[in-house]
Amino acid sequence: MSIEPLWEVFVRSRRGLSHTHVGSLHAPDATMALRNARDVYTRRQEGVSIWVVRAADITASSPDEKDEFFDPAGDKVYRHPTFYQVPEGVQHL
């Protein structure tokens, strides 16, 4: 077993964009995880900001129940603008 815990790495590629998951790595603590993430995932200036999160601290939805879990949004077509009929000739709506 690895003695260092696993960290998930998120990189903001440039200002104005969100952090995106890029992969993971092992490191003994958060400081080392950040430094390792810089060396592993941004050797070509792929990022301006990095987040590291202990993999064990992430709670994820279960793929087994993905249908039930996301069902409530399934029948609410009226949340989309395409649901509505716009009379001919109406603009800027």
Instruction: Please tell me the count of residues contacting another protein according to CB under 8 A.
Output: 23
Among 12, 13, 19, 26, binds another protein (CB under 8 A): 26
DSSP 4: S
Among 40, 48, 69, 70, binds another protein (CB under 8 A): 40
With CB under 8 A as the contact rule, which of the stretches 18-26, 73-81, 85-93 interacts with another protein?
Answer: 18-26
> Please, are residues 50 and 24 in contact by the beta-carbon 8 Å criterion?
no
User: Least distance (Å) from another protein to the CB of residue 2?
Assistant: 4
Q: Based on the shown chain and the rule CB under 8 A, indicate whether residue 70 belongs to the binding site for another protein.
A: no
Terminal alpha carbon distance of the chain: 59
